Amino acid sequence: MKVQNKVIVVTGGGNGLGRELVLSLLSRGARVAAVDINTSALAETAELSGVKNDNLTTHAVNIADKGAVEALPDHIISQHSAVDGLINCAGIIQPFVRLKDLAYEAIDRVMNVNFFGTLNMTKAFLPHLLMRPEAHIANISSMGGFMPFPGQSIYGASKAAVKLFTEGLNSELIGTNVRVTIVFPGAVGTNIMSNSGVTMSEKMVSEQCAMKRLMLSSNKAARIIADGIERDRHRILVGKDSAFMDFIYRLSPRGAARFVYHQMKSLLPA
């Protein structure tokens, strides 16, 4: 689906990859409804949109709140007249700890935002998308959605749920006007840690600085995703690391999991 003159809803539009998706879509001639829980972050996105600001609306909504999400389609349609696409990008990570040390509150928060937020938005907007001549849903999973990362087991479970939910949705919508895309970003330079409220140790700060030069920039990742949506791709691997880990995990799940463990074990508390 070409996005020019289409109305696209983007969650997580206040920062990071979500913000870059908003800006990329606007640059391609789309009208965008940016959704985020952070009002000030949305205002920054609006300011960055520059001359494209007239094609952007912002909506401060907690996507884990079913009632607020159910009211959102009518509100956005009243401003844009229609909705043609939905990109579920909002997501958070968990503290880098083993499951035995992870609080239930943190578990609920990750699942509510990453999985139930995606589910809520999809369920609320799908009836409207089915009425359009063509429409598109893209859900952002993660490398952690198809292979395990120690210290991020619940985050991975939430993104794996997004993966299978999206694949199931795609099967349900065969023969309709709605195309579905699942996205697996690798390491992308965003501020997801601070937005997730995750405190970094000195070791983690050092590791992140060393990794930064290897990370894909968020604006380049957004371009890859937007290109894939316009080509109606079912599956998008964002970054060479995502493509590589997808390959080796299919080749040897146990070997790939051990490789990742050795790369990340230093980030976990003893």
Whether the predicted pLDDT of 141 surpasses 90: yes
Q: How confident is the model at residue 210 (pLDDT cuts 50, 70, 90)?
A: very low
Whether the predicted pLDDT of 187 surpasses 50: yes
Whether the predicted pLDDT of 15 surpasses 80: yes
- Give the pLDDT of residue 180: 98
pTM value? 0.91
Q: What angle do CA 15, 239, 191 make, to 5 degrees?
A: 25
Q: Is the dihedral of CA 257, 262, 265, 267 positive or negative?
A: negative
The arithmetic mean of pLDDT across residues 121-137, rounded, is: 98
Cα separation, 78 vs 59, in Å, equals 13
Whether the predicted pLDDT of 29 surpasses 80: yes
- CA separation, residue 3 to residues 48, 139, 229 (Å): 20, 16, 8
- Give the pLDDT of residue 209: 45
The arithmetic mean of pLDDT across residues 131-155, rounded, is: 96
Whether the predicted pLDDT of 171 surpasses 50: yes
Q: How confident is the model at residue 268 (pLDDT cuts 50, 70, 90)?
A: confident
Could you tell me if 268 and 98 are in contact, meaning their C-beta atoms sit under 8 angstroms apart?
A: yes
- Give the pLDDT of residue 212: 53
Mention every residue, 6+ apart, whose C-beta is less than 8 A from residue 220: none
Whether the predicted pLDDT of 158 surpasses 60: yes
The residues assigned a catalytic role are: 155
Residue type, 35: V
Q: How confident is the model at residue 206 (pLDDT cuts 50, 70, 90)?
A: very low
- Give the pLDDT of residue 266: 82
Whether the predicted pLDDT of 107 surpasses 80: yes
Whether the predicted pLDDT of 191 surpasses 80: no
- Give the pLDDT of residue 69: 98
Q: How confident is the model at residue 264 (pLDDT cuts 50, 70, 90)?
A: confident
- Residue 143: beta bridge partners? none
The arithmetic mean of pLDDT across residues 14-31, rounded, is: 97
